[in-house]
Structure 1
Amino acid sequence: MKARRTPWWYYLLALLLGLAAGAGIAKYGERMDLSLIGAPWFVAVLLAMLGVAVMILAWQVHKYATTDPAKRSSVFDPMKAVYTLVLAKALGLAGAALAGWYGGQILASLPHAQASFFSEAILECAVTGAVSLADMVVGIIGEHLCQLPPSEGPEHPKLTGAGRRRGFAQPTANRSVEQ
């Protein structure tokens, strides 16, 4: 299976969509006299714990993937590595969307910041938005940590000329001249 890195513009798009949705829901709640802004404090705590868990899992995958096969002391489930990669990708995109969501709520609530309800909601959204932004960064780093090192096949740069002469691979520059 070949997994591709998540393009940078996916994160930007998720952030912008979250920003528009957060600002829209805050304005809608203001017009309809509903309390739709803010975030309970436990949301920020849960998001932080999720980011820590993904970073620990990604570090384990990276540590196993970069250890010399002869020195590995345990068996590692490849599905755990795949699940960690998917979790890191999802955390990065969800973190971007949630950072935009809470940022949009902050922007829509700033004109009313002098009211105690809105000032409390702005503080809640700022903390949760910062944790969401950190989760996006953790997702990007976790995705990078789950990347496998290049295999040491015939095209690997560490393969010496002697290995190439034994038939593992021929340099492409000499093939056309000798044939």
Structure 2
Amino acid sequence: MNARRTSWWYYLIAIALGLLGGAGIAVYDEHSGASMLGAPWFVSGLLAVLGVVVLVLALQVHKYATTDPRKRPNTFVNPTLAVYTLVLAKALGLAGAALAGWYGGQALLSIAHMEADYYSQVVLECAIAVVVCLADMVIGIVGEWLCQLPPTEGAEHPKMKKAARSRQMAGAVSKSAE
């Protein structure tokens, strides 16, 4: 399987779309009085726990992938778990970006009305949610990096390039000695 890294502009698009959606829901809430703004506290807590779980899984995959096969502990990282961790890290990064935009849009448009208790609570909830979502986005990006495999022992591996240069030097020395 060949997985590509998520491009940086995907995160920018996710943040922008989330920002537009969050601002749109804030405008709708202001005109209709539907009180749909804010983020419940358990959502921020759940997102934080999810980020920690993804980070722990990505660190386990990275440790297993970068350890010398002869020195690996008896623990076995299931390849399916490694792929699921990669997919989860990608999804967490993009969802964190979109949700940061969503809650950021709500907070930005609610700041003008902070004198009301409802809007001051919304701004506080959304600010905390934005921080947690940005942390999740960073954890997703780092987790995606941690899940990449080191180069194989093929011709492009640094050890093989060094060995090939040594053989070329030895061959050149032996030809000049003849």
TM-score (norm 1): 0.89
Question: 2:21 matched to which residue of 1?
Answer: 21
Letter in 1 for 2:110: S
2:74 corresponds to 1:71:
no
Counterpart amino acid of residue 57 in structure 1: L
The reply on whether 1:161 has 2:144 as its aligned counterpart is no
Residue in 2 that maps onto 1:88? 89
Inter-partner Cα distance in structure 2 for 1:76 and 1:150? 18
- Distance (whole Å) between structure 2 residues aligned to residue 164 and residue 28 of structure 1: 71
Secondary structure of the equivalent of 1:69? coil
> What code does the residue aligned with 1:21 have?
G
Aligned counterparts, 1:51-130, within 5 A: 51-73=51-73, 74-130=75-131
2:133 and 2:43 mapped to 1: Cα distance? 10
Displacement of 1:155 in angstroms is: 2.9
Partner amino acid for 2:123?
I
Which residue does the alignment assign to 1:30?
30
Structure 1 residues without counterparts, runs of 5 or longer: 166-179
Please report how far the alpha carbon of residue 158 of structure 1 lies from its aligned counterpart in structure 2 after TM superposition: 1.1
By how many angstroms is 1:38 displaced?
0.5
The TM-score normalised by the length of structure 2 is 0.89
Give, as a single letter, the amino acid of the residue that structure 2 aligns with 1:39: A
Letter in 2 for 1:152: E
Q: Is residue 150 from structure 1 mapped to residue 148 from structure 2 by the alignment? A: no
Output one character per residue of 1:26-65: Cα deviation in whole Å (capped at 9) or x when no partner.
1001111110100111111000000000000000000000
Q: Shift in Å at residue 163 of structure 1?
A: 8.4
Deviations along 1:109-151, whole A, 9 cap, x unmatched? 1110111110011000000111001000000000000010000
Where does residue 6 of structure 1 map in the other structure? 6
Contact 1:154 1:164 in 2 (8 A): no
In 2, the alpha carbon distance for the partners of 1:44 and 1:38 equals 11
* Change in 2 beyond 3 A, CA 1:118/1:66: same
Alignment root-mean-square deviation, CA: 1.3
SS in 2 for 1:82: helix
SS across alignment from 1:158: helix
Could you tell me how far 1:156 is from its partner in structure 2? 1.9
In percent, how many aligned pairs have the same letter? 65
User: How far apart are the structure 1 equivalents of 2:167 and 2:31?
Assistant: 72
Give 1:78 shift: 0.4
Tell me the distance in 2 between the aligned counterparts of 1:154 and 1:161. Answer: 9
Alpha-carbon distance in structure 1 between the residues aligned to 2:88 and 2:37: 27
> Which residue in the other structure is 2:176 paired with?
none
